[in-house]
């Protein structure tokens, strides 16, 4: 395998692992902070769900590698510039304790590198519009879904003894956590698959149909990133969950997990962490949860908005720099 292609493969796998590392603390805090799940059980569910979700679908990977850019528009150096830009941005956001989506970062990197390589004609504007619409709308849909799920649960449980209901929700919290973990694996692992497919195609090694090792590498990258990041005490979403009861955590993870699985099946690349953040806010609004950390919400939203243009600019500059070498 040529050195440039090996570097691209390594960067794609590292991006998946680092993105999962970034996501893990917020997802685990949602399950653990209301004392619905023990930390080790929540982490086991997250890792196993990530592995399972990675093998559900490849439609998001196909969107990334075949519908976002014009066919054969990116040579290997441009793909490498996009991946390095996405990796550097994700690392910086993780160090700052901010939620970031690996696909957000990859999207900006690919567009920036494509424009640097061949201008806007290298970008499939129809695919880009659909992708941007999904990225913008999904956190809002997460909020709506969280609100509706929480409202529905409150309606069904009206008149039920609160302590009895709380015990029930603690017992079934694992199901919601597992659903979210599967959705997370479906979304983030396919971003890695799409990046690997692009690198392989640019390196003359095909790309489609996806080789089995690509799916396996993506699944392991996300699972190991979740395992490593699960014990890191990042607080980007923890303030949103400190006052949650088991029913709130269950509603948020069920709403976000269901949306992520649907997005994976539809081939829509979305952000797992921002979908969960939206669901948490929706649950908080429906359940009148106090203590939402609005400063963290604003910081998370700022990172969400800044990531695609930031990585696009970085990839554009990296592409030009690599062209001079």
pTM of this structure:
0.82
Any residues with CB less than 8 A from the CB of 268 and at least 6 apart, and which? 60, 63, 130, 131, 134, 138
State the Cα–Cα distance between residues 47 and 43, nearest whole angstrom: 6
- 151-174 confidence digits (pLDDT tens): 888 887 777 777 777 677 777 777
Structure confidence at residue 85 as a pLDDT band (50, 70, 90): very high
- Could you report the per-residue pLDDT of 214-272, keeping only the tens digit for each? 999 999 999 999 888 876 644 444 444 445 677 888 888 889 999 998 888 888 888 88
CA pair distance 111, 123, nearest whole angstrom:
7
Q: Read off the pLDDT of each residue in 125-144 and give the average, rounded to a whole number.
A: 85
How many other CB atoms are found less than 10 A from the CB of residue 136?
13
Q: Is the CB of residue 282 less than 8 Å from the CB of residue 57?
A: no
């Amino acid at each position: 395998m040529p050195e440039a292609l090996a570097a691209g493969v390594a960067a794609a796998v590292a991006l998946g692992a680092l993105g999962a590392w970034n996501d893990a603390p917020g997802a685990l805090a949602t399950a653990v902070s209301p004392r619905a799940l023990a930390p080790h059980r929540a982490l086991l569910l997250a890792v196993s769900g990530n592995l399972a979700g990675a093998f559900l679908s490849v439609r998001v990977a196909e969107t990334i590698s075949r519908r976002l850019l014009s066919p054969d528009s990116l040579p290997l150096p441009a793909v490498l510039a996009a991946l390095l830009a996405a990796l550097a941005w994700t690392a910086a956001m993780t160090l700052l304790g901010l939620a970031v989506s690996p696909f957000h970062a990859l999207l900006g990197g690919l567009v920036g590198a494509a424009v640097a390589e061949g201008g806007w004609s290298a970008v499939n504007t129809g695919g880009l519009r659909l992708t941007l619409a999904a990225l913008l709308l999904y956190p809002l849909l997460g909020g709506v879904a969280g609100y509706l799920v929480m409202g529905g649960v409150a309606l069904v449980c009206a008149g039920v003894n609160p302590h009895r209901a709380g015990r029930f929700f603690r017992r079934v919290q694992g199901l919601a956590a597992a659903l979210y973990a599967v959705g997370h694996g479906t979304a983030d692992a396919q971003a890695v698959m799409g990046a690997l497919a692009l690198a392989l195609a640019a390196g003359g090694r095909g790309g489609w149909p996806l080789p089995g090792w690509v799916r396996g590498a993506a699944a392991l990258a996300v699972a190991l990133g979740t395992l490593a990041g699960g014990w890191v005490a990042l607080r980007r979403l923890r303030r949103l969950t400190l006052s949650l009861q088991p029913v709130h955590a269950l509603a948020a993870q069920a709403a976000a997990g269901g949306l992520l699985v649907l997005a994976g099946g539809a081939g829509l690349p979305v952000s797992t962490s921002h979908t969960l953040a939206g669901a948490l806010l929706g649950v908080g609004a429906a359940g009148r949860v106090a203590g939402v950390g609005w400063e963290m919400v604003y910081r998370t939203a700022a990172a969400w908005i800044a990531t695609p243009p930031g990585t696009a600019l970085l990839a554009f500059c990296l592409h030009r720099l690599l062209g001079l070498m």
